Amino acid sequence: MSSLRNNLRAAGARAWIRVVAANRELSWVWFETFLPALTTACYVFIYRAMGAAPEFESYVILGGIMIGFWLNVLWGMAAQFFWEKDMGNLDIYMMAPISRMAILLGMALGGMTGTAMRSVVILLLGIFAFRVRFEVAGLATAFGIFLLTMASLYGLGMMLSSLFLLFGRGAQRWAEAAQEPIYLLAGFYFPVRNLGFGVAAAASLFPLALGIDAMRQTALGSRAGFLPVGVEAAALAALTVLFGLLARTMLRTMENRAKTEGKLTLKWQ
C-alpha cells in the first residue's frame, strides 16, 4: 500500500511540475497555442478555396486538436528521459524508490492537461469562426474514444522513452524525420480511408489514426470512416494493453542495463 501511495504521489508531483512549467512563461502560451491554430486555419481556407464539402473543415479542426497531444507525447514524454539524462537528473529518477512508469504517468497527466488547455483554443476557433457543428448524441461516445486514444498514445510514449535513451540522439533524428509522415498516416487533415485499405490498415497500428477516425464518426457524424466505431474502440483498447506491457518490459530492461553495464546507450554510440 505504501509503495502504491508513493508512486501516486510521485506521479502527482511530476504532473504538477509539468502544468506549472508549461504556463510559467506567457510567451510560451502564445507560441504553443495561437500559432498552431493558424496552421489549422490555413487548411480550412484551402478546403474552402477548393470548394470541398463543409465536413472537411470539421475534419481539419479535430485533427488540429489532436496534433497537440501527439507532439506532447513525442517531445514532452518519449524524449523526456533522454533530455533528463543530458541535464543530469536521470540518476535521481533511477535511484528514487518508485516505479519509472509512475514518473512517466505524471508527465503524461501533466502534459495532457496543458495540451488540453491549448486545444480548447482550436476548438473555439472551429466553433465560432468556422461554424463547425458537432453531433450532440455522439459526444459522450467520442469522449470515451478520446480517453482510449490518450491511454494507448501515452502508452506508446512510455515505450518510446526507453528507445530514446537506448539510441540517444539517433532516435531523436528518426523522430524528427517521421513527424510529417505520421501527420499523413494518422489522417490529421483528411479521412484515413482515402489512403487505401492496405495503407490505412497499416496506419491503424498507430493509435491516432484509429482514434481520430472514430471520433470523426461519433462527434461529427462522418460517413467516411475506415472501420466501424466498435472495431476501432476494441483495437484502441488492445493497443493500450500492448503498449503498456511493452513499456513496462522495456523500462525494466533499461534499468537492468544501467545496473549491469553502467550505461544506457548502445556501444557503437
pLDDT tens for residues 37-89?
888 888 899 999 998 888 888 889 988 888 888 888 877 777 777 777 777 77
Q: How confident is the model at residue 25 (pLDDT cuts 50, 70, 90)?
A: low
Write the CA distances from 147 to 3, 85, 103, 109, 187, integer angstroms: 26, 30, 20, 12, 19
Q: What is the Cα gyration radius of the chain?
A: 19
> What confidence tier does 268 reach under pLDDT thresholds 50, 70, 90?
very low
Q: State the number of CA atoms in the 13 A half-sphere of 41 facing the CB.
A: 14
For residue 192, CA distances in Å to 145, 170, 244 come to: 17, 29, 25
Q: What number is the average pLDDT over the span 134-151?
A: 88
CB under 8 Å to 73, separation ≥6 — which residues?
Answer: 108, 111, 153, 154, 156, 157, 160
Higher pLDDT, 176 or 153: 153
Share of the chain above pLDDT 70, in %: 90
Between 207-219 and 229-261, two packed helices, what is the crossing angle to 10 degrees?
Answer: 150
Which of 119, 161, 167 is CA-nearest to residue 268?
A: 167
Residue 240 exposure: Cα atoms within 13 Å on the Cβ side: 16
Q: What is the mean pLDDT of residues 151-158?
A: 88
Q: What is the pTM of this model?
A: 0.85
